[in-house]
Structure 1
C-alpha cells in the first residue's frame, strides 16, 4: 500500500544532519507534510542569489526589513511569497497568502500561506513569522552605563 508520505515526497533534512547510529550510516530525511513545510521555510528564508545553481530561488524578504509596515508593503510581500511558491514549490497550490501585524508585537509580520497539496487535494496552512527590527528602537540595554564593567 502506498502511504501519503510517498505522494508528498521525501528529502534531506535542513540543515543537513546524519544518523551515525544507523547501519549503514545515513542522512537524516524528512518526508510528507514536514518536507513541504520545511521547503516553504527554506524558500521564505533564502535570498535570491544565495543558491549556487538556482540564482532565482528564494523570496526577497530581507529587502523590506527597514521599510515601514504599510498596506503597500504587505501587498509586495504577498506578491513575492506567491510568486516564489508558484515557481519553486510544485507540490502545492497556494490558495491564499495573508500578511498580518499583531498589535501586541510591533515589528512582527505573520505570513500565513493557505495551500492545497496537489497529490492529495488536502488543505493546510503554514505560518511564517517575519521579524522586522526597527532601526529606531532604543532600549535600556543600549545605554553604556547598563553594561557590565570589567576590571583588570
Structure 2
C-alpha cells in the first residue's frame, strides 16, 4: 500500500546516485525513523533557520547515571519528539542501562504512526565514548526500527 501522506525526504547523510543524477529518498516509516535519528543527534542551535530544533542529550554525557539523570534524559527525548515529530504519537521511552559500564545507553522509543495506527520500536544507542568515523556495531548509523504487532 502506498502511503505518501507519511512523508518523504532525503536520506541522511545525503547519498547521491551516479548515472541517475539524483539523491537517495526515504519514504513512509523509513523517513520517520530517519527523522527520529536526526532529532536525537541534533543539538539545539545547530540549525541556523530552526534554532530550537534538537534534543540536547549531549549535555548529559558525563553526568552520573542516577535516577535524576535518567528521568531528565527521557524527558528531553519525549519533549523533542512531542514538539518536532507530529506524524507519531509516542507511547513510551525506555532507557536500557544494562551496558552502562561499557558507556552505552540504549534509548528505546515505542511509538504509533498516527495515520496508519502502526506501532514501531525505535532503538537508538547513546554513547559516552569518544566519537570516531568508524561505524561500530550499534552506532547511531545502525539505529533499528522494529514494527510491533497491530493492536486494533
TM-score (norm 1): 0.80
- The match for 2:19 is 21
- RMSD of the alignment, in Å? 1.6
Alignment of 1:1-152 (within 5 A): 3-4=2-3, 6-22=4-20, 25-103=21-99, 105-133=101-129
SS of 1:102's equivalent in the other structure is: coil
Q: Is the 8 A contact 2:99 2:105 kept in 1?
A: no
Question: For residue 150 of structure 1, what is the aligned residue in structure 2?
Answer: none
Give 1:62 deviation, angstroms. Answer: 0.7
- Given that 2:61 and 2:128 are in contact with CA atoms closer than 8 Å, whether structure 1 keeps it comes out as yes
Moved more, 112-121 or 25-34: 25-34
Cα displacement (A) at 1:33: 1.1
Matched-pair contact (CA < 8 Å) for 1:78–1:97: yes
In the TM superposition, structure 1's runs of 4+ consecutive aligned residues that sit over 6 Å from their partners are: none
Deviation track 1:69-121 (CA, whole Å, cap 9, x = no partner) reads: 11111100010000000111111010000112114753211110000001101
Q: Which structure 1 segments of 5+ residues have no match?
A: 135-152
Q: Which runs of 5+ in 2 are unaligned?
A: 131-152
Q: Secondary structure at the match of 1:68?
A: coil
Cα distance between partner residues in 2 of 1:129 and 1:106: 12
Distance 1:105 1:29 in 2: 38
Q: How many residues align?
A: 130
Q: Which moved more, 1:97-106 or 1:71-80?
A: 97-106
Aligned mates of 2:125, 2:23 — CA distance in 1: 28
Question: Does the aligned pair in 2 maintain the 1:12–1:27 contact within 8 Å?
Answer: yes
